[in-house]
Amino acid sequence: MSLLIKSINIKPKIKILIWGESGSGKTMLSLSATKPLICIDTERGAEPFFNRYEFDLLSLPTIDQLELAIKKLEEGNGSYETLVVDSLTGVCELYAEKYSRGEKATFNDWGVIKPKLDKLMKKLVALPLNLIFTARSQNIFNKEYQIIGERPHIFRGLAYWFDIIGKLERKGGEAPQMILNKSRFALPQRIEDVSFEKLQNLIYDKEIAVKG
């Protein structure tokens, strides 16, 4: 059997990082994704959506439980289409807590933690699944300790693994909009009334994506 595959008519799996303030709609957008769906929830953010969406849940996992779940997914257990990790910020904190020698991770500690996180991400992006990660927002400060911007609250370098990175913003009860920070697809820089279905349509329909 040939190891090569033809790229024609293959729908790419979506590997996306969604970040933003609390209440911006990150978890809701994630859980509306293609079913069947499994959610690894490090912050108990999925609980308000138990009766709204159907998904399998691994809540407040340890690192060992997280890595075991990924091993099961690698083996094809569950026939899932989408994996949600809510949040990558929480996953980074789990690894920092386990592998830091003090209360806070030092530069030397991150030299141990970063390769472990990269190994985890390498396994995740190899899964034949849509991947949706959320992250909290983190302020960026200048030398005078003034806020000059925001970024996803994740370890530096992890953004490499995603095809799409977008910040969610929502005012009041309005539908969220996504502002793209990175995209390997031809997507508009700002997507109004964003949903997972809308993202799929934009990615899979090349004509729509290019027009955006």
How many angstroms separate the Cα of 129 from the Cα of each of 13, 14, 27, 200? Answer: 6, 8, 18, 13
Residue 208 in this model has a pLDDT that exceeds 60: no
Average pLDDT over residues 46-67: 91
Mean pLDDT, the chain, whole residue set: 86
Q: Is-contact 176 25, C-beta < 8 A?
A: yes
Q: What is the pLDDT of residues 80-94, one digit of tens each?
A: 999 999 999 999 999
Work out the average pLDDT over 45-53: 90
Confidence of residue 147 (pLDDT cuts 50, 70, 90): confident
- Cβ proximity of 45 and 87 under 8 Å: yes
**Are the beta carbons of 138 and 150 closer than 8 angstroms?**
yes
Q: What is the pLDDT of residue 36?
A: 78
Closest CA relative to residue 152, chosen from 192, 180, 193 = 180
What the chain holds in terms of domains, given with CATH numbers, is 15-211 (3.40.50.300)
As a whole number of angstroms, the distance between CA 121 and CA 132 comes to: 12
- The pLDDT value recorded for residue 169 is 92
| pTM across the whole model | 0.86
Query: In the predicted model, what is the mean pLDDT of residues 151-170?
Result: 91
Question: What is the pLDDT confidence band of residue 210, given thresholds at 50, 70 and 90?
Answer: very low
Is the model's pLDDT at 205 over the cut of 80?
no
> Tokens 């300790």 belong to which residue?
145
Q: What is the pLDDT of residue 40?
A: 93
Question: What's the whole-number mean pLDDT along residues 183-200?
Answer: 90
For position 5, what pLDDT does the model report? 57
Span 91-116, average pLDDT: 84
Alpha-carbon span 122 to 125, nearest angstrom: 5
Tell whether the model's pLDDT for residue 1 goes beyond 80.
no
**H-helix or E-strand spanning residue 83:** strand 82-86
Q: Which is nearest to 203 in space by CA: 9, 12, 5?
A: 12
Q: Is the CB of residue 164 less than 8 Å from the CB of residue 184?
A: yes
